[in-house]
Chains A and B, each alone.
Chain A
Amino acid sequence: DAGVIQSPRHEVTEMGQEVTLRCKPISGHNSLFWYRQTMMRGLELLIYFNNNVPIDDSGMPEDRFSAKMPNASFSTLKIQPSEPRDSAVYFCASSSQGREQFFGPGTRLTVL
């Protein structure tokens, strides 16, 4: 199995631009998670989906952030407009039936 796939691996953009991060979970997994990791705040859960339905988005920092999961094999995390404080590594993870979460390699986002 290829594991969790994320794209792009690196993204550099300017303040005010829209950023879209993509994730393909492990085939057969029914839960998908988006995390953000920074030096200051560590690893934080932003939102998670069960069976493509958002269950808990209490970690989403503000309205500039949105996430979708249109089908079982694809999810996006969008930031519009982006700000320098959004610079972080964004991880996607997936799991099956509430078991161990497997993380993707992450997207390193830099907002100038």
Chain B
Amino acid sequence: RKEVEQDPGPFNVPEGATVAFNCTYSNSASQSFFWYRQDCRKEPKLLMSVYSSGNEDGRFTAQLNRASQYISLLIRDSKLSDSATYLCVVNRDGGYNKLIFGAGTRLAVHP
């Protein structure tokens, strides 16, 4: 079993739709959690950190459920520019160093 599991998608949604991605992790010792975005043939970039209380950044909301070892990302009012692969990432050592990446969920937003 992979340490970080994601639905690979693709999720095909129209502009303006709300879409949610889920992720589970197996190592209960994981301490830090993130969502990264990766555009086609580009490098991954940090989208947002995920905090226990949940956090929001504009149209993006991230949630963490430590009891269920589950992380989610909600995108409201999808834009064409949101089309990308979203990577769920966990870290074991409490910082940013040893990152474990999920395989990613592909999102395609169409007009």
Contact = CB atoms under 8 A, between A and B. Distances in A.
Interface of A: 31, 33, 42-45, 48, 50, 55-56, 91, 95, 98-101, 103-106
B43 A42 contact: no
Nearest to B45: A103
Contacts, number: 40
**Which DSSP category, helix, strand, loop or mixed, fits chain B's interface?**
loop
Interface in B87-107: 87, 95-104
Interface of B: 42-46, 87, 95-104
B98 A91 contact: no
Nearest to A40: B103
A33 B101 CA distance: 14
A23 to B, nearest CB: 12
A106 B99 contact: no
Given A42-B103, A106-B43, A48 B87 contact: no
